[in-house]
Amino acid sequence: MEGRGTIRIPDLIQKKRDKQELDPEEIRFFIEEMVKGCIEQVQLGAMLMAWYFNGMSPKELTVLIDCMTHSGETLSWPEEWKTLLVDKHSTGGVGDKVSLVLAPALAACGLKVPMVSGRGLSFTGGTLDKLEAIPGFNVSLNNNQMCECLRYAGCFIAGQTKSLVPADRIMYAARDVTATVDNIHLATASIISKKAAENISALVLDVKVGRAAFFKNLNDARLVARSLVEAARDQGIKTTAVLTAMDTPIGLAIGNSLEIMEVIETLRGKGPPDLVELVKIQGGLLLNSVGRMDISKGEKLIEQTLQNGAALACFEKMLVHQNVDVRLAAELCSGGQTLARAKYVTAILSPSSGRVLDIDALACGSVCGALGAARARASDVILSAVGIELLVTVGQSITQGQPWAKLHHEDQSVASEHLIKLQNAVVVGEANNALVPTSRILEIVQ
């Protein structure tokens, strides 16, 4: 089937190919036919390529997002929660565990956090992959279960259901095989349609910048952040974006089980400063967006929930309500060693004495991914215990032969190429000036 009435799919492709603006009715028809399976894959690929090269007007983008959002079910919540519903989205990074701390911290502040998250490809496990390192954790919730979890714990972190934004699932699969993933308009439509389907009031976007990020420079990241913020606001979502540095790993843990353990330590008030900083600013922005308080007061409140155990209590409740055994959840949240441990641990030694000037997040992440901490294909099985434990941070003094990291791995031997990459990941030298920790926060887009 190619069309109904006077609209034909080939005509729409030709119109966009010729750099004309599609009418709202034409975009709606295209998305509806695609979801029904009435469009040939070559036609979808052709339209994606036309959008890729010729872009979209602001009106086209707004209509596309709305059509994608309503291509399936949208999440529904009690009316009294309307102004409390918030979420975040990150473009991904190495050691990025912010969501796992932020969601329960916001819940402890009285907000509701319906976090529909994803899995990871390439060198990093996604938020769901990290959570599945916890035995029994269920990421597949229906709308009723999501409501109960929000009522009981104040937050949930779950995967996208089949009925939620099916248009995005179809389009993303096609983008992945047609080299159209890295397009600002298509990426914006993909991200914001899923957030709009959550029916949230406010959103914060963590856009990573640097060698281990999708965006290598500040200008590209800024353009994408502005596109996302404007598109989300057009859907009625109060939105801000934070541009954050992604050259060195976040925190001291990389890899699924190791990151969960660091999350617990952070929720117990003992987290690494850079991770806490990211959680505080994003939480402060969301508390401000829903009218609770100004950003600085919001940051202080978020920090209080980490120090007084309130965020940890919400996290434990979330675990239990997402199928983790009550005793296991309690033991994990008290700092017990309940997660899988790697069979082997190899110390990575400093090549020289001096100050740690740099730790290459991309190198660390790629080695972890190659050893099984992430998947190269969707069908790959993740080894949750694989990862890297950092023993130093940038600015610290170190002596030659001193371990700067521990590599956790499941195979007895590690390929020399991976060990060499890790040995080269740390830069040690003499600092001309005193090295002080720098903020990861580069810019806020409002």
User: Which residues are part of the catalytic machinery?
Assistant: 89, 168, 175, 190, 194
Q: Are 99 and 90 in contact (CB under 8 A)?
A: yes
Residue 32, both tokens = 């509806």
CA distance 374 to 381: 8
397-398 sheet: strands from edge to edge:
397-398, 354-359, 426-429
Q: Report how far apart the first and last C-alpha atoms of the chain are (Å, whole number).
A: 44
| Contacts (Cβ under 8 Å, ≥6 apart) of 250 | 93, 94, 95, 96, 97, 98, 274, 275, 278, 440
Pairing mode, strands 202-209 and 86-90: parallel
Distance from C-alpha of 14 to C-alpha of 22, rounded to nearest angstrom: 10
d(CA 409, CA 416): 14
The 8-class DSSP code of residue 371 comes to: I
CA distances, 271 to each of 213, 240, 266, 304, 394 (Å)? 23, 25, 4, 13, 16
CA 359 – CA 390 distance, rounded (Å): 9
Torsion angles phi and psi, residue 272, rounded to 5? -65, 145
Amino acid at 80: E
Burial 86-121 (b: 16+ CB within 10 A, else e): bbbbbbbbbbbbbbbbbbbbbbbbebbbbbbbebbb
Q: Is 441 helix (H, G, I), strand (E, B) or coil?
A: strand
387-390 and 403-409 as β-strands: parallel, antiparallel, unpaired? antiparallel
Give me the helix-helix angle, 218-234 and 184-197, nearest 10°. 40
Encoded amino acid at 371, one letter: L
